[in-house]
Structure 1
């Protein structure tokens, strides 16, 4: 399976927002488009088409990591939800998660319930629940539950 479900692309577009000029994200990383970071230089400017191409490539790479880690069948929506999760948090977060343990045991409902545990980021040295992450994880869980 190589393509990314359109709903997953839309979820990431909505969650990340579109920025055509490079900026420094809260984690201190130069970022552009819909959260693209690879090779981004400050001052860089792209088109909306470039941003879409980066997003497709980034989510395809994230989905490839999902494919390596998940040992049970996934529908396109589940794979897309997990690709969004990996794009945002990294494959290591999925790899070490209870979400993955439950999923690989075939507990799809239990896995879906785990998305909401990933809603905090460290802000000024303090672990803080972020409303944007709450919304994103809820959207990923909803997509994951879609047949």
Structure 2
């Protein structure tokens, strides 16, 4: 399964686009649309094309991870919300979450209720993270048009 356009838009909106390396709120070096990793060095500058490619590569990794972790059927909005969640928090956090346990028990409503609980970074509640989690929750709960 692939992330849908609503999920990509959500990620782009909340990650923002940075063509020069910056340190996120917990000090992780980041570039492009929230790309992190050993390849991100201080002072690195990339192009829009490179940012788009990094996003595509990162999304493929998170799509595979969500596909592996979720053991129940997901519609494209549910899948995309989980990819956005994982993109921001990491597959390890999704894998160890009550959200995933509820989901894999088939309790989609309980899983959806877990999104807003993930509003902290560096031990602090961040209004921007709560806003993102609510957007992911809304996407997760959005039925597909018939």
Residues in 2 aligned to 1:4 and 1:60: alpha-carbon distance in whole angstroms: 9
Q: CA deviation at 1:83?
A: 0.7
Q: Secondary structure at the match of 2:124?
A: strand
Indicate if the aligned counterparts of 1:99 and 1:115 stay in contact, CA closer than 8 A.
yes
TM-score (norm 1): 0.91
Aligned Cα root-mean-square deviation (Å): 1.1
Residues in 2 aligned to 1:29 and 1:92: alpha-carbon distance in whole angstroms: 17
Q: CA deviation at 1:49?
A: 2.2
Structure 2 unpaired stretches of 5+: none
Deviates more, 1:33-42 or 1:110-119: 33-42
Q: Quick check: 1:117 aligned with 2:113? A: no
- In the alignment of these two chains, the number of paired residues is 142
Q: Deviations over 1:49-83 (max 9, x none)?
A: 22122112212211211111110011111111101
Structure 1 runs (4+) deviating above 6 angstroms are: none
Structure 1 unpaired stretches of 5+: none
Identify the residue that residue 131 of structure 2 maps to in structure 1: 135
TM-score (norm 2): 0.92
Q: Deviations over 1:27-52 (max 9, x none)?
A: 22221111101211222111222212
Indicate if the aligned counterparts of 2:25 and 2:121 stay in contact, CA closer than 8 A.
no
Deviates more, 1:134-143 or 1:55-64: 55-64
